[in-house]
Amino acid sequence: MTYAFGGPEEYHGKDMWRAHEKLVRDQGLNDNHFNIIVKHLVGALQKFNVPEEDIQAAGKVVETTRDPMFRDPITKEYLG
């Protein structure tokens, strides 16, 4: 979220795949779950009267995390 709204890019943790791999492989995290999270994010931003332009911009940034979250970087298989 910090990144989506223009904050500092100082995250030094796991990449998206490594952070979510166990959830994807073992617990079935998939595109449907991602879509629900995006829906809740948009709803929360709307509730707090964030301008629609900013909501759209944040949504576009969040969407860029979908592929890295669900694509195995070694096999290139998409598991979302």
Q: Distance between CA atoms of 42 and 47, rounded to whole angstroms?
A: 9
Q: Is residue 54 part of a domain?
A: yes
pLDDT by residue (tens digit) across 45-65?
A: 999 999 999 999 999 989 999
Q: Who contacts 76 (Cβ-Cβ below 8 Å, separation ≥6)?
A: none
3-state secondary structure of 33: helix
pLDDT-derived band at 70, boundaries 50, 70, 90: very high
pLDDT for 4 equals 63
Is residue 50 one of the residues assigned to a domain? yes
**Residue 22 maps to a domain:** no
Specify if 6 maps to a domain. Answer: no
- Domain residues for the domain of 53 are 35-73
42 exposure class (CB count in 10 Å sphere: 0-12, 13-18, 19+): middle
State the Cα–Cα distance between residues 13 and 58, nearest whole angstrom: 21
Look at residue 42 and tell me if it is in a domain: yes
Is residue 78, in this structure, part of any structural domain at all? no
> What's the domain count of the chain?
1
Convert the pLDDT of each residue in 1-25 to its tens digit.
Answer: 676 667 777 778 899 999 999 999 9
5 located within any domain: no
